[in-house]
Structure 1
């Protein structure tokens, strides 16, 4: 009996701790509560420039985030990441004060200068990448590690 108990205890302790939302009392807003929001993430689409100042971001599963993607208009550029977009619940995408609530997306393409604001809840743990399609440089992608 002691061996079964010890084996059960070891199995429980061997798994990583589950990430909890950023606040204890989510209130009426649930996961979208202001206390459950992570820091905003800023990405820049510009010809020959890095996509982000950071190479990767750590996100907490169950927390609400915003990504601001700004294109400078220097080239027609897109950002793609089907694995990332399937690991999150997309709340909305705001472009020129037009709110879109999509079921799913694979990429966004900017033909001219502008900003898109994506708000979402991180869901699926793992490492997920957003990148400029067709690029091979390390600075042309950003990795999101959802814990």
Structure 2
């Protein structure tokens, strides 16, 4: 034992316990990170002639999701999901491999053909409509059922 250890007899035990705690906590932290791998839900395709490709999603609170939205580019689409966006933690929005880390989200808009990915965790159960502004009566409406 060194001179410092003789002056502080609990030092070796404290160091050992600290090391043990850190090594045990790391796997727990990794398992608890919900954003490590997103569950991909069926992509939503916005098609000028047929409307939405999907009109109902069933998802769960506390699960990390990736929602891909694809536009055919034949119309300008402003997609809103106000209740879902308000009651979810939005991790990121990815447009052409560029990430946006928003504080909140109101809508996503397509002026041309393309894809947008929304990565989110729903926080509260409920039924949340999503729709394209001005086209909701023409096949551009659906609902998220969050359990």
Across the two proteins, how many residue pairs are aligned to each other? 120
Q: How does 1:78-117 map to 2 (within 5 A)?
A: 78-117=78-117
Conserved in 1, the CA contact under 8 Å of 2:47 and 2:53? no
From the two aligned structures, give the one with the greater helix fraction.
Answer: 2
Corresponding position of 2:66 = 66
RMSD, aligned α-carbons: 1.9
Corresponding position of 2:8 = none
Consecutive unaligned residues of structure 1, counting only runs of 5 or more, are 1-24
Runs of 4+ that moved beyond 3 A = none
Whole-angstrom CA distance in 1 between matches of 2:87 and 2:107: 14
Instruction: Quote how far apart the aligned CAs of 1:48 are.
Output: 2.8
Conserved in 1, the CA contact under 8 Å of 2:90 and 2:105? no
The answer to whether the aligner puts 1:30 opposite 2:30 as a matched pair is no
Structure 2-normalised TM-score? 0.73
Corresponding position of 1:119 = 119
Conserved in 2, the CA contact under 8 Å of 1:65 and 1:120? yes
Instruction: Quote how far apart the aligned CAs of 1:138 are.
Output: 6.9
Structure 1-normalised TM-score? 0.73
Conserved in 1, the CA contact under 8 Å of 2:84 and 2:122? no
Whole-angstrom CA distance in 2 between matches of 1:95 and 1:69: 10
Whole-angstrom CA distance in 1 between matches of 2:39 and 2:28: 14
Conserved in 2, the CA contact under 8 Å of 1:27 and 1:33? no
Whole-angstrom CA distance in 2 between matches of 1:47 and 1:88: 28
Instruction: Quote how far apart the aligned CAs of 1:50 are.
Output: 2.4
Whole-angstrom CA distance in 2 between matches of 1:40 and 1:108: 18
Conserved in 1, the CA contact under 8 Å of 2:79 and 2:107? yes
Corresponding position of 1:48 = 49
Whole-angstrom CA distance in 2 between matches of 1:110 and 1:136: 16
Match of 1:117, SS? strand
Higher-Rg structure is 2
Instruction: Quote how far apart the aligned CAs of 1:103 are.
Output: 0.7
